[in-house]
A and B are shown apart, each in its own frame.
Chain A
Amino acid sequence: MVSRKNKWIPFLFLLPSLLFLGIFIYIPLIQNFYNSLFEFSVFSQTKEFVGLKAFKNLFEDQIVTTAFINNIKYAVISVLFQVFFALVLAAILEDKLFRRAAPVLRIIYFVPVMISISVIALLFGFIYNPQIGILNSFLELIGLENLAKPWLGNSTTSIYAVIAMSQWQSIGFITMLFIVAIQKIPKELYEAADIDGAGKIRKFFNITVPQVKETMFVNLLITVTGSMLVFNEPYILTNGGPGFSSMTLAVHMYQEGFVKDNMGYASAIATLIFILTAIFAVIQIKVSGTGKEE
């Protein structure tokens, strides 16, 4: 090792980062726990201490229940599409049968990932539109006009319409992560299986799936954590409505804080979101070993 003349040099290099993280990430996190014990509004000078009242209200709040169920629906559907379907899609694209088409298809599936979520959400506002939307027009075209409905204006379909849009946007991203993982699998494994006369489906389950297990697990956690945090899609498409049928926890937090000006209660919802995601984050660190030193 090289001798160190000045012990404070590394500290100087680290200082700006530590300041940014401390001021804008860690202090706000602590402040949020503190805030959730008070009642206050944006411009009020004082905060009224109410203890754990906000947390008690969380359990009695009908909207929190609906929002939480919607977050769970988001998670379950996203796992089906973005973990299982995306893995199958990636395996198909990496199959040598589609060697020529795969590069083009890969780019096509990736295009929505490159487009801002606000553009996508505005676009799907058009697609789901009862009068001009291509979804209903398409259903009419193929003779299924009785299935046509105001997708976002109907409280039973609104959350599913929002979730469907998320799948449309994100599937290419997760597929790409799986493709990267599949490309790292040693070719000899498949060659050995070929000699044994294994079919494609058997190779998929016996080689591909076990070899990408870690990526699968990481994608699972990204998807589930993302589902607990989802804000942009329901906020732009439906603002949680009609009623609160497509509310998620993050949209509820935003509305309580910045629309109804119940900052204390909104902080309690934020704490709930933090706890939900922290559980998954801890599992992820434990399994992927991020904290391990090399």
Chain B
Amino acid sequence: MMFKRRNHFGNAASSFSRNITFLGLIIFSIIILYPLYWMVISSLKSYDEIYNNVWGLPDVWHFENYATAWSLGISSYFLNSVFVTGATIILVVLIGSMAAFALSRYRSKWIDVSLYMIIGGLMMNPQVALIPLFELLTWMDLINTRWALILIYVAYRLPLTIILIRAFFLSIPRELEESAIIDGCSEFKIYTKIYLPLSIPILITTVVLTAYFAWNEFLFATVFIDSNDLKTIPSGLMNFRDALRTDWGVLLSGMVIASIPMIILLIFLQKYLVRGLSEGSVKG
């Protein structure tokens, strides 16, 4: 009897606290979503409406803001971002998986030293190297080119990529490669024909993490690229803001366009990103 009564009482109290908690969760969702909703709605307004009608829907929907933003510069930032992100991904996956292959298949003093060097690379922050990298890229005559960003992004993404892929490679059964060796496969063939095809999930994780980094990187993109024609989206948006002054609808349209590719990518590949971020954070 006692048990039953306590249980009943507990239910009433817990359903009250459940409702309060749920209300909290909903309010928090509104805090997160409302600014984004405001961005999308205001991107379709004229200057006057953004100024005078903060909360409402637009009277006239200015879809042309998007066309204006695209033709005033977002298109070039967008293509630069696509190129830089694409090249970074290809190089990181290729170079990183090669290193991971060597690190997972061989043991020697030099392999260990290399592994420590790569783990150490995880701890290095771009900020600290900013000025020497600026000098180096100037000396290499690469400053103000897209390659300045690509090479640096590759270098800073390699440590995490190698460590994630290596952990995956270590789980590949040895028997597979032994039979390949008996069949007369070269090391390079074992890498391309056995290791890479078996590792598609971790390679997708790497691609998503790298895309996320390269698409959003701001500091290097601001410092190493001066020419407006070569800027990627994050740093280009700053120029865009300064050039537009009060043409806020167009600026907000540009911001929405800049956000779309990552949102699409992550809606489809969210589980790879979450996995990569959580493994990366534990290892990093």
Q: Which residues of A approach B to under 8 Å, CB–CB?
A: 2, 4, 6, 9-11, 13-14, 16-18, 20-21, 23-29, 31-32, 35, 42, 89, 92-93, 97-98, 101, 105, 107-112, 114-119, 122-124, 126-127, 131-132, 134, 137, 168, 172-173, 176-177, 180-181, 200, 214-215, 218-219, 222, 229, 231-232, 236, 250, 253-254, 257-258, 263, 266-267, 270-271, 273-274, 277-278, 281, 285, 288, 290-291, 294
Tell me whether B127 and A253 are in contact (CB under 8 A): yes
Residues of A within 8 A of B118 (CB): 17, 21
A168–B28 CA distance with the chains assembled, in angstroms: 10
Tell me whether B131 and A114 are in contact (CB under 8 A): no
With both beta carbons as reference points, the residue of chain A lying nearest to B155 in the complex is identified as A24
User: B198 on the interface (CB 8 Å rule)?
Assistant: no
Residues of A within 8 A of B21 (CB): 92, 97-98
Tell me whether A17 and B216 are in contact (CB under 8 A): no
Residues of B within 8 A of A126 (CB): 38-39, 42, 248, 252
User: B229 on the interface (CB 8 Å rule)?
Assistant: no
Tell me whether B22 and A17 are in contact (CB under 8 A): no
Residues of B within 8 A of A6 (CB): 187
Tell me whether A32 and B131 are in contact (CB under 8 A): yes
Tell me whether B277 and A10 are in contact (CB under 8 A): no
Distance to closest chain B CB from A82 (angstroms): 12
Residues of A within 8 A of B237 (CB): 118-119, 122
Residues of A within 8 A of B123 (CB): 277-278, 281, 285
Tell me whether A236 and B124 are in contact (CB under 8 A): no
A162–B230 CA distance with the chains assembled, in angstroms: 29
Tell me whether B238 and A109 are in contact (CB under 8 A): no
With both beta carbons as reference points, the residue of chain B lying nearest to A34 in the complex is identified as B132
Tell me whether B114 and A18 are in contact (CB under 8 A): yes
A226–B41 CA distance with the chains assembled, in angstroms: 32
Tell me whether B117 and A18 are in contact (CB under 8 A): yes
User: B116 on the interface (CB 8 Å rule)?
Assistant: yes
Tell me whether A215 and B282 are in contact (CB under 8 A): yes
B residues 95-134 near A (Cβ < 8 Å) are 95-96, 98-99, 101-103, 105-106, 108, 110-111, 114, 116-119, 121-125, 127-134
User: B172 on the interface (CB 8 Å rule)?
Assistant: no
Tell me whether B124 and A25 are in contact (CB under 8 A): yes
Tell me whether A21 and B22 are in contact (CB under 8 A): no
Tell me whether A14 and B98 are in contact (CB under 8 A): yes
Tell me whether B50 and A31 are in contact (CB under 8 A): no
Tell me whether B131 and A122 are in contact (CB under 8 A): no
A111's partner among B18, B33, B110, B117 (CB-CB below 8 A) is: B33
User: B225 on the interface (CB 8 Å rule)?
Assistant: no
Residues of A within 8 A of B274 (CB): 176, 180
Tell me whether A257 and B130 are in contact (CB under 8 A): yes
Tell me whether B262 and A116 are in contact (CB under 8 A): yes
Distance to closest chain B CB from A121 (angstroms): 9
A52–B264 CA distance with the chains assembled, in angstroms: 50
Distance to closest chain A CB from B189 (angstroms): 12
With both beta carbons as reference points, the residue of chain B lying nearest to A226 in the complex is identified as B125
Tell me whether A114 and B263 are in contact (CB under 8 A): yes
Max count, chain B CB within 10 A of own CB: residue among A29, A42, A137, A263: A29
Distance to closest chain B CB from A256 (angstroms): 10
13 A–B contacts from the bound complex (CB under 8 Å): A2-B178, A23-B136, A25-B155, A115-B36, A116-B215, A118-B238, A137-B55, A177-B278, A219-B281, A232-B219, A236-B218, A254-B219, A271-B128
Residues of A within 8 A of B181 (CB): 2
Mark the stretch among B62-70, B156-164, B199-207 that contacts chain A.
Answer: B156-164
A123–B32 CA distance with the chains assembled, in angstroms: 12
Given A109-B32, A116-B233, verify A27-B277 contact (CB < 8 Å): no
Max count, chain B CB within 10 A of own CB: residue among A35, A132, A168: A132
